[in-house]
A and B are shown apart, each in its own frame.
Chain A
Amino acid sequence: EVQLVQSGAEIRESGESLKISCKASGYIFTAYWIGWVRQMPGKGLEWMGIIWPSDSETTYSPSFQGQVTISADKSTNTAFLEWRSLKSSDTAIYYCARRESSGWPHNWFDPWGQGTLVTV
Chain B
Amino acid sequence: SYVLTQSPSVSVAPGETATIPCGGNNVGSKSVHWYQQKPGQAPVLVIYYDNNRPSGIPERFSGSNSGNTATLTITRVEAGDEADYYCQVWDSVSDHAVFGGGTRLAVL
Contact = CB atoms under 8 A, between A and B. Distances in A.
Nearest to B44: A112
B45 interface: yes
Interface stretch (A7-15, A77-85, A103-111): A103-111
Q: Do most interface residues of chain B lie in helix, strand or loop, or is the interface mixed?
A: strand
B48 A47 contact: no
Interface residues of B, number: 27
Q: Do most interface residues of chain A lie in helix, strand or loop, or is the interface mixed?
A: strand
B88 A108 contact: yes
Interface residues of A, number: 26
Contacts of A104: 90, 92
Given A45-B102, A47-B99, A108-B90, 6 more contacts: A37-B43, A95-B43, A102-B49, A104-B92, A108-B45, A112-B44
